[in-house]
Structure 1
């Protein structure tokens, strides 16, 4: 199945995967990508959609994702996924959404104890 190497200079390096998991595992990162997948949003609209994510946390996540080339900030101050890294990450989330949709009953029960779980979730068509 996998043929990952631990040499960071080799293609298929586990180091790259671990770096990706560390970045994407930070709170709110995947939510930002998810919200921007349909198209650009300004900071205030994105903040509204993010529920209880603070403005400072959102600004920090936007800066990080812009720095690594997943997002771009436009002259009108809106943010969008970059055509390559960001768009492909957005596409990579689709199977996760399908998996979550398939197991929504169990996942919903498991997250009911968290007050922010499921807030402002987008419907996918």
Structure 2
């Protein structure tokens, strides 16, 4: 349940999703997560680092090996979410 609690927090999954492409600085990450406040971004990055999903090097924030494994497990949900959204928008929920 602790994992679901962490990932359910505002912007946690968005940060993981953005870092999948490689390291990003704080400002780059903030730019990609357009509506996140610096306070929330800083807090989520701290939580994700403490949990072992995100690391920080001179290149910026990046997914750790565990973070990449998490992303690999979440990626199919991204594809499913698009199918679900299309069905909801079209009114075909069956």
TM-score by length of 2: 0.88
CA RMSD of aligned residues (A): 1.6
Q: Could you say which residue in structure 1 is the equivalent of 2:62? A: 80
Residues 65 and 108 from structure 1, CA distance in 2 versus in 1: closer, same or farther, beyond 3 angstroms? farther
The answer to whether the aligner puts 1:32 opposite 2:15 as a matched pair is yes
Which runs of 5 or more structure 1 residues have no equivalent in the other structure? 1-17, 110-125
Structure number with the higher helix fraction is 2
Deviating beyond 6 angstroms after TM superposition, the runs of 4 or more aligned structure 1 residues are: none
Counterparts of 2:89 and 2:28 in 1: how far apart (Å)? 26
In the TM superposition, what whole-angstrom CA distance separates every residue of 1:56-114 from its partner, at most 9, and x where no partner exists?
A: 110110011011110000024x000002x1011111111101101212324569xxxxx
Larger radius of gyration: 1
TM-score by length of 1: 0.67
SS at match of 2:61: strand
Q: How many pairs are equivalent?
A: 90
Which runs of 5 or more structure 2 residues have no equivalent in the other structure? none
Counterparts of 1:61 and 1:46 in 2: how far apart (Å)? 12
Map 1:36-55 to 2 at 5 A.
36-55=19-38
